[in-house]
A and B are shown apart, each in its own frame.
Chain A
């Protein structure tokens, strides 16, 4: 610096003659850095595509009907089941000693490693296990019996075996053909549905009405005192009405009992591979198919039938079978509520911070705080949600609006509203930051144009700035939704449950039940994968549910991106 000043003051010295190097080495041209960047990108893409590809593959093949192998072992055991997976393992010494010399030598030649296969044998009620390992050296033969059936039941999981016969109200058919079998199962399903309609429809409604009547008395007691005349009148009325309801209830119950006893006369007898039989009502069967004697069309129909069941039915067997409709509905409802809560709140906050607040150290500090909020562990939000939303807010709501239900909480416990608000709190920094950026990016000339036309600040923001910033705001919402969809930890303590008896949205008023606990795809994955009786059995469901969750997030994002592109086209800021 000083040198430069002296030079400037003195007579200018000529530049020293430097011979410049011709050409440049690799590091100067920068290619290695470009390669490095490319490699990093490829590694990242590879991981993402690998993960998605694996999930997609496993999820997509899970419902495909597998062949049923019948394995006869050297010691005469018979095992029938689907091939689940194979692996190499080191044969334990105790097992080795029991083997004949020839097999032992073979295994020793293979460094003590042998291959084994896991068969899904089903019949949990008979065998006490769903899966059986069979080593290759134990196998005598593997056949594919065309009469083997794969039977999905409502209880006890799958049954693998032969159909011995069906009993249609006294008319017995031994070894029925597939057509009559399918027809019988269909008829059984119709009977089951008829019972379900009464149980979940009418009987459920009566139970709700009875509960309401009980609450009417409580309400009267709270309003007028326990021994007042009003309570006595109310009790009389309730007594009369509940008697009427109970009479109705008895009628329906009788109907159901009649249907049940009819239903029990239609049975199927199944025979497992070891010769044991099992007789059950035909209506307890979801689906059966002869796995080894199917055409491609039949396989596809089983495949799609399982997908449809998966998407439209409630789960059974501790969530490892059946569908995930409640989780799907719960997740979607939560995300919609989350967006409804986070969008106005985040946008209004960002508007004030960017447009109205006097920029200074305080605003900068608030901005830093908002950014830091995005880094707080999500479980902390969960704890806050439980403490503030559920206990403080919900508890007050219960005391003011639902005193008759206490001590049973209505809003004073986890529910879909509190879960959505907790997630909204978690994702609001994302919306604030991106909205602020979008507002800052609106050209000054636009604002000046509007102000010069006599627009007030608010008119300028409302008519010019916000529409121009809308695509950026949408980007923030997309990010917030994606983040919200992936959260599980905070939800576990503010309203997500393993099995929700009722959906948060249904056809009884008020249609959206904010107080209800709900099921969530992310929690469902955790629950099925790690909390079930047999995590091996739940594994396919984990992948299918993951696939669905990813699909849901992708489609929500795609929808938001389409909206954003439309806004962009409409409010593109022109230049020439």
Chain B
């Protein structure tokens, strides 16, 4: 039903209005005419955009607009869902993400992911952080300790947990757990950090800590963040992509877009007229 309805409306979306800042100009992830179906219903319609290296890109839009789907396609987490079909292509540094010959595990090792709800593993803080190294079979204790410390420092958690690094990660607060998940994501030394509404389950103080952290991390990593919170998008991102019903409506410089959206629908959403 939804397929037919969106099809009917498809005409009045027009093509994507495109005015991003390019940073150094290097493209990290290139999305080319990407379509995705969950079984029979199409969730993404011809998305095309470049995620620029070292920048933070926010994906915003009302619930069900496909922003999480787009994010989860980038490290192929959608493979876990039965009946997912895609057409078009995504490239990570010019190498295809989709395709039979792609080594998904190697691909995921190049990207860290942070989820909506903190999902620390039921192990010690230390084991959580070094999990990406564990799956790589690293056994060098010195290397593991150094990585754990660096990652925890990178996630601004080291000072809080350095004395209880061998205790269970489940004893941490929600905000600390989420920063632990960020530490875990960066411990594998990825190129890209994918964040799927990382603050939606956190209180304002924890949220502001994570936002500061994102500010520090960008530059070092290419960050793609999905958020429901438009202020957050405005605060942390360089580029913002506004999506609606699976289409990319507007993709551009965050500052310009929040000051003066070029598309009526974006303006309506940003000013809270719908969504």
What is the interface of chain A, defined by CB distance below 8 A to chain B? 443, 445-456, 459, 463-464, 467-468, 570-574, 576
Contact = CB atoms under 8 A, between A and B. Distances in A.
B177 A574 contact: yes
Contacts of A450: 121, 131, 135
B82 to A, nearest CB: 8
Given A448-B77, A572-B122, A454 B170 contact: no
B122 A570 contact: yes
Nearest to B111: A452
Given A576-B118, A576-B177, 17 more contacts: A445-B117, A445-B119, A446-B121, A449-B119, A452-B111, A452-B113, A454-B105, A454-B108, A454-B136, A455-B131, A455-B135, A463-B134, A467-B122, A468-B122, A574-B120, A574-B168, A574-B177
A449 B181 contact: yes
B109 A464 contact: no
B117 A459 contact: no
Nearest to A467: B122
B169 A574 contact: yes
Nearest to A444: B80
Nearest to B116: A445
A576 B119 contact: no
Contact of A448 (B119, B173, B188): B119
A203 B132 CA distance: 64
A-side interface mostly: helix
B66 interface: no
Given A571-B122, A574-B120, A453 B108 contact: yes
Contacts, number: 82
Interface string B161-191: 0000000111101100100010011001000
Closest 8 A/B residue pairs (Cβ):
A574-B170, A454-B109, A452-B113, A445-B119, A571-B122, A576-B174, A455-B135, A449-B119
B109 A573 contact: no
A449 B122 contact: no
B54 interface: no
Contact of A453 (B132, B169, B173): B132
B49 to A, nearest CB: 22
Interface residues of B, number: 34
A446 B188 contact: no
A453 B119 contact: no
Nearest to A455: B135
A451 B77 contact: yes
B272 to A, nearest CB: 30
A448 B109 contact: no
Q: Residue among B117, B131, B132, B184 with the most chain A CB within 10 A?
A: B131
B121 A449 contact: yes
Q: Residue among A452, A454, A571 with the most chain B CB within 10 A?
A: A452
Contacts of A468: 122
Q: Residue among A450, A455, A572, A576 with the most chain B CB within 10 A?
A: A576
Interface string B120-162: 1110000000011011100000000000000000000000000
8 contacts: A448-B113, A449-B181, A451-B80, A452-B115, A453-B108, A454-B135, A454-B188, A574-B170
